[in-house]
Structure 1
């Protein structure tokens, strides 16, 4: 068993036996102990190197990619995504915009870029994971402010809201089945009520995150896909309209929170 997971289990067991604090309190202590040495920092460094490296058939860096703040500007950009981009006439989240730049500027084929967006447990982070970790770290402390000015931004929110409450699959689950009320949990994991602004802010602000149980940085696209997996829905296509719509809905619900990612998750 992974030593970190074993530590969490022992802490939770000790709390249950002593009756002093809840397992959630002990897990929070554990995260605090690791916070100064978050392994995501290594992935951020990997992403920083990729950001400025000349790569792809066009042998250019990503430093001219515009995430809504101007070419090459990452400070605060993640906190205002998803958003409408005039050059593609669509709402994009960070990861789908990143793929767009890798294809249009660096010359990579889309199929190659998205073939394996997520690393397997214990593997080196993929380029998409590393670049996302670096970019979100550049927005740490910035207020979440996903825009709702353009008609397509408003439409993305409306579709995302509908998807959040849509029930289906073999268990007749929706996103709201787990994230629509206070006090819900799976095993030792508290489930945020994403209808509650304070809880939505905390949840959105701490993704992407380093998952201790998997030894990897996981992105928001991964988070959406994993929720679909747990609902027993078909896989959510990387960068799909539904994934962007859901992230838009969650981002708008989290308005005003301060970004604090990459964070630590169980």
Structure 2
């Protein structure tokens, strides 16, 4: 019942905001004082007031502290890279190398490790869950809260370890790799500046695209689906649009792409979880 009421309210608010956007763009066109990009920016700012991602953040904080799984333990001893239990600042330094797993891990793959080792929740079962269902809902809520704890901080992924550098190189190759029936790559949409699909700006992810743009904006609440999308889900949908087979959840290629985008975004202010159309 709550979900259905919430979605109805969101739809109504979105409709009102879209109407306001139309007036904004029309006025800008008539007066010659605003560009289309300015109108879109205002529209996004209006939507961001009361971001529904806040509900996911609250759930994520509760999940972090709640004893769960066969071991009846919380995630409060989970090390996200800055020490056991340290959350603030962790998001803007992920993906990174972890000595205990001897892997470069992003937020989602690191949470899988913590859920399995601390709580006894099988990582394989979580990874097999569909997005938005089962334990994936828990993962999305945790990602929302953890990223929110670093809101306003600047992206600063480490590149000191050889494996971090190797994953950056792998991510760069994946970014430019073309294939599939459409002969697309990530760079097709995000390999130059000034591109847009309809009203959606396409940031240039080869360099720092700016504060709160690209990697620094995810996870995000998607108004069109009424769901919170993690970076893993965002990349999964990019592969769908390229007509590629879906990558494995928390696979090396998705983590490597995160390293590539995250390192390139160095210095950008994180606004995650943000709001998307």
Q: When the two structures are superposed, what TM-score results if normalisation uses the length of structure 1?
A: 0.92
1:170 is matched with which residue? Answer: 181
Please state whether the residue corresponding to 2:221 is helix, strand or coil: strand
Name the residue aligned to 1:80.
Answer: 93
Residue of structure 2 aligned with 1:101, choices 108, 114, 117:
114
Structure 2 portions without partners, runs of 5+: 1-7
Q: For the Cα contact (< 8 Å) 1:11–1:23, is it kept in 2?
A: no
Say whether 1:114 aligns with 2:114. no
Greater shift after overlay, 109-118 or 252-261?
A: 109-118
- Match of residue 230 from structure 1: 241
- C-alpha separation in 2, matches of 1:13 and 1:239: 40
Kindly indicate whether the alpha-carbon contact (under 8 Å) linking 1:15 and 1:26 is maintained by their aligned counterparts in 2: yes
Indicate if the aligned counterparts of 1:201 and 1:254 stay in contact, CA closer than 8 A.
no
Change (3 A) 1:200 1:179: farther
CA separation of 1:227/1:166 partners in 2, compared to 1, >3 Å: closer, same or farther?
Answer: same
| 1:1-12 equivalent positions in 2, closer than 5 A | 2-7=11-16, 9-11=18-20
User: How many residues were matched structurally?
Assistant: 264
Residue 36 of structure 1 aligns with which residue?
49
CA deviation string 1:57-91 (max 9, x = no partner):
00000000101100000010010000000111110
CA 1:206–1:46: 2 relative to 1, 3 Å:
same
TM superposition shift of 1:230: 0.5
Deviations 1:37-62 (A, max 9, x none): 11101110000000000000000000
Residue 35 of structure 1, CA deviation = 2.4
8 Å CA contact retained: 2:25, 2:39: no
Cα gap change, 1:220 to 1:72, in 2 (>3 Å): same
Unaligned ranges ≥5, structure 1: none
Q: What is the DSSP-based 3-state SS (H/G/I as helix, E as strand, rest coil) of the residue aligned with 1:149?
A: coil
Q: By how many angstroms is 1:109 displaced?
A: 1.2
Whole-angstrom CA distance in 1 between matches of 2:135 and 2:51? 16
Partner of 2:3: none
Contact 1:24 1:189 in 2 (8 A): no
- State how 1:95-244 maps to structure 2 within 5 Å: 95-116=108-129, 118-119=131-132, 126-199=137-210, 202-244=213-255
Cα deviation, residue 143, structure 1: 1.6
Which TM-score applies when normalising by structure 2? 0.89
**Structure 2 SS opposite 1:190:** strand
Q: Does 139-148 or 189-198 show the bigger shift? A: 189-198
- 1:117-168 deviations in Å (ceiling 9; x for gaps): 5217xx9980000000000001112221111100100000000000000000
Specify whether residues 44 and 125 from structure 1 end up closer, same or farther in structure 2 by C-alpha distance, changes over 3 A only: farther
Counterpart of 1:251 in structure 2 is: 262
1-structure distance, mates of 2:201, 2:108: 27
